[in-house]
Amino acid sequence: MRARRSILSVPATTPRFHEKADGSVADMIVLDLEDSVAASAKVAARQGVVDALCRHAYEGKVRSVRVNAVDTSWCLDDVRHVVEGAGERIDTIFLPKAEGADQLNFLHHLLEQLEKRLRLPRRIGIELGIETPAGIERLDEICSASDRTVALHLGKGDLAASTRMPGLTIGEESTTYPGDLWHYARVKIVLQARLHRQQAIEGPYARFRDEAGLRSLAGQAAALGYDGKWAIHPAQLSALNEIFSPRQEEFDRACAIVRAYAAATGEEATGAVDIGGEMVDEATRKMAEVMVDRGRTAGMRESGVDAALFSAEEAAPAAPPCPSARR
């Protein structure tokens, strides 16, 4: 999986933003033909996407194009125009308001036909906006429809509107609901994403000057296992990259635990060991490997500072916990 800690949405109709996005620290760039483009400008905006992809490298970034929804009059020509004009430069097509397998089948086979005709050297992936009650409730059907799907994105703005939630700020927390307003949708999306080996991404927070609010929302999503969050302004990117990456000490500890556990338990890696005063078993090893994978995806390397504390020499067999203490 490629890093998607921070996703910067860029209107297709604003060339100066395309250049700024190229130099940003975003993991992923979404050139947008949907919500940020007025109906009267949608047809002309397609060439703006092609020009941006051909002019700017977006090196090290996932390059995606958000087309209009399948039930609009623009979707077919959105996909055809951008793939015919810059298919070799596109990593994924972002399909908003995904609600059923039929929509995925349409996009999957359209891409297949274009790739064959244009002789593109690699497949174009699909990213899905989950933004309506139908999208939430049909997630398993949607996620299973195409092996091109690489990520699910929770769209809070459209979801709030389609469920008639009161509020005017996209992605904000509720001051009246006793808990996380988005918990059901968040958990369902991350579980389905993991079931289908896809990434889970949260939508944007519109108050781009409110860093504390952004950090709170992003921290909640990260705690549930999300891989990243959308940004509507470059000022939000650094915070998101930080929040969706392990801290250096966490990454170092995870790497050391994986090594020490393997050395102490042999090739089969079963049982439990005492590593630095902590009982580490197979479930712990799996948790550590997730942390290692997240860090490496983000480009992290071990600092070596704390590795000695969890060295293989300090790992010793541990007494098995009582049944009630097992995970």
Helix axes 75-86, 101-118, angle to 10 degrees: 30
Antiparallel, parallel or unpaired: β 278-280 and 273-275: antiparallel
Q: Specify burial of residue 249 (Cβ count, 10 A radius: 0-12, 13-18, 19+).
A: exposed
Residue 306: pLDDT band (50, 70, 90) is low
List the one residue out of 124, 185, 122 whose CA is nearest residue 149: 124
Please give the share of the chain, as a percent, with pLDDT higher than 70: 91
For the stretch 76-107, pLDDT in tens is 999 999 999 999 999 999 999 999 999 999 99
The whole-number pLDDT of residue 270 equals 56
Q: Can you tell me the distance from the alpha carbon of 217 to that of 268, in angstroms, rounded to the nearest whole number? A: 40
Average pLDDT over residues 227-243: 96
Average pLDDT over residues 257-286: 77
Q: Which two tokens stand for residue 12?
A: 């297709």
Predicted TM-score (pTM) of the model is: 0.89
Q: Specify burial of residue 160 (Cβ count, 10 A radius: 0-12, 13-18, 19+).
A: buried
54, 86 contact by CB (below 8 A): yes
Mean pLDDT of the chain: 90
Rg of the Cα atoms in the chain: 22
Look at 277 and 60; give whichever has higher pLDDT. 60
